[in-house]
């Protein structure tokens, strides 16, 4: 069975070498096999698959404790399918809220840019329209800021 160095595992997983060491230290992965002659870590394809899953979770803002829960549930398979689903849906809902917040922020920035563009062009009608749009959006902005 072919194994990978920590450098190769880092490249394939998208995680840094220190992160790979840390994930082993906090038991998110491993223990990782060691080369008998050098003591260097040697990662299997299964290890890299696990690291990729963890990299995705990390990119989505999942914390270490929930990654640990995810890994434990993953090992138990069907028996923990409901918990696994709930953990993932919880983060999906959080990301949906973040997307909504970012959309409101994006709308705000674009409308404010229109306002300043109208001012730069000395277009009072366009300035008034943009100003009204800003006022209308402020309610949405206040909601997402809470």
Residue 4 pairs in a beta bridge with 43
Q: Are 92 and 61 in contact (CB under 8 A)?
A: no
What contacts 107, CB < 8 A, 6 or more positions away?
Answer: 137, 140
Q: Residue 146: its pLDDT value, please?
A: 67
- Average pLDDT of the chain? 93
Q: What is the pLDDT of residues 130-143, one digit of tens each?
A: 999 998 888 777 77
Q: What is the pLDDT of residues 70-83, one digit of tens each?
A: 999 999 999 999 99
Q: Residue 53 pLDDT more than 70?
A: yes
Q: Residue 111: its pLDDT value, please?
A: 95
pLDDT category of residue 59 using cuts at 50, 70 and 90: very high
Q: Residue 129: its pLDDT value, please?
A: 94
Q: What is the pLDDT of residues 84-115, one digit of tens each?
A: 999 999 999 999 999 999 999 999 999 999 99
Q: Using CB atoms within 10 A of its CB, is residue 29 exposed (0-12), middle (13-18) or buried (19+)?
A: buried
Q: How many other β-carbons are positioned within 10 Å of the β-carbon of residue 102?
A: 11
Number of H helices, E strands in the chain: 6, 2
């Amino acid at each position: 069975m072919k194994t990978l160095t920590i450098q190769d595992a880092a490249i394939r997983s998208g995680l840094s070498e220190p992160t790979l060491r840390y994930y082993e230290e906090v038991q998110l992965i491993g223990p990782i096999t060691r080369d008998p002659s050098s003591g260097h870590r040697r990662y299997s394809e299964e290890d890299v698959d696990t690291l990729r899953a963890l990299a995705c979770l990390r990119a989505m803002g999942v914390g270490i404790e929930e990654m640990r829960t995810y890994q434990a549930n993953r090992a138990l398979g069907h028996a923990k399918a409901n918990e696994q689903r709930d953990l993932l849906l919880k983060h999906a809902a959080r990301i949906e809220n973040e997307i909504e917040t970012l959309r409101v922020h994006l709308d705000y920035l674009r409308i404010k840019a229109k306002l300043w563009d109208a001012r730069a062009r000395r277009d009072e009608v366009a300035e008034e329209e943009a100003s009204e749009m800003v006022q209308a959006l402020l309610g949405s902005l206040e909601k997402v800021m809470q």
